[in-house]
Amino acid sequence: MAKADLLTVPCFWGIIPYRHFGIDLGDGAIVHLASVGGDIAQMEVQRVSIEHFGGGKPISVEQVSDALSDEQVVERALAAVGNTHYHVALGNCEHFARLCKSGEHVSHQTDRFLRGVIRAGLAGLASGSARTVGSGATAGVAMSQTASVATLVGEVARHGAYALSRCAKVEHRHAERIGRGVGAVSAAVAGYITKGPAGCASAATLYLTVDAMSQSAMQQMQSNAKKTAQ
């Protein structure tokens, strides 16, 4: 660990795992956005010791492409100390730390969670729509349901591949590409096992369609969030 590093520690929100982020000042201190006195309703950018930041948990260095200079990163972090702004989806600890590190206001873990919810919802809607078709299209309904289930299988595989890649220190963007590829292949294989070549094609098509729609929805949400922040 060194000056201006983007640091993370593993945490849990109930049973949901996530990573907490901070900026290393290089002098044994960390700047991070955290609760005041354990009250999540009161959040503040704080300067704390590295021991306090880690809380006895393993601390990792997050690799970031296109990072700002060390001086800029530290200057941004120190200038924010005392600020009280927080939003679990639009302004959390990762948003703050990455904004200091790269100038990019983004939370990859929040985005991944929201995209997963969107993809699962879209796949569920596709399955529900198929069930509204008349009984004369039984084969089509069965194929659509197979594709929907295969899409959810692909989503699980996608998250698993991403998590394993990150554990292996693969940079976020590359891990995303790995996860997307594993998800698509897993969905196609699940469709093939259930309904043969037709199921494979149907599952792959639905998975990629849902993925594109979720990406578009996320971009729109991020655009609206930036407008609101302004």
pLDDT tens digits along 137-184: 555 556 677 777 788 888 888 888 887 887 777 777 788 889 889 988
Q: Considering only CA atoms, which of 147, 115, 154, 118 is closest in space to residue 131?
A: 147
Q: Considering only CA atoms, which of 154, 188, 173, 143 is closest in space to residue 62?
A: 173
**Helices of type H across the chain:** 50-54, 70-80, 93-102, 108-131, 138-167, 172-229
Residues comprising the chain, all counted: 230
Q: What are phi and psi of 48, to 5 degrees?
A: -135, 170
pTM here?
Answer: 0.66
The rounded distance, in Å, linking the Cα atoms of 86 and 92 is 6
Q: Give pLDDT, residue 179.
A: 87
Low-confidence ranges of the chain (pLDDT < 50): 134-136
The rounded distance, in Å, linking the Cα atoms of 212 and 2 is 38
Q: Give pLDDT, residue 134.
A: 45
Q: Give pLDDT, residue 49.
A: 94
Q: Give pLDDT, residue 50.
A: 93
Q: Give pLDDT, residue 164.
A: 85
Structural domains of the chain ordered from first start = 6-106 (3.90.1720.10), 109-229 (no CATH)
The rounded distance, in Å, linking the Cα atoms of 216 and 61 is 30
The residue behind tokens 């060390």 is 70
Query: What is the number of other CB atoms lying within 10 angstroms of the CB of residue 55?
Result: 10
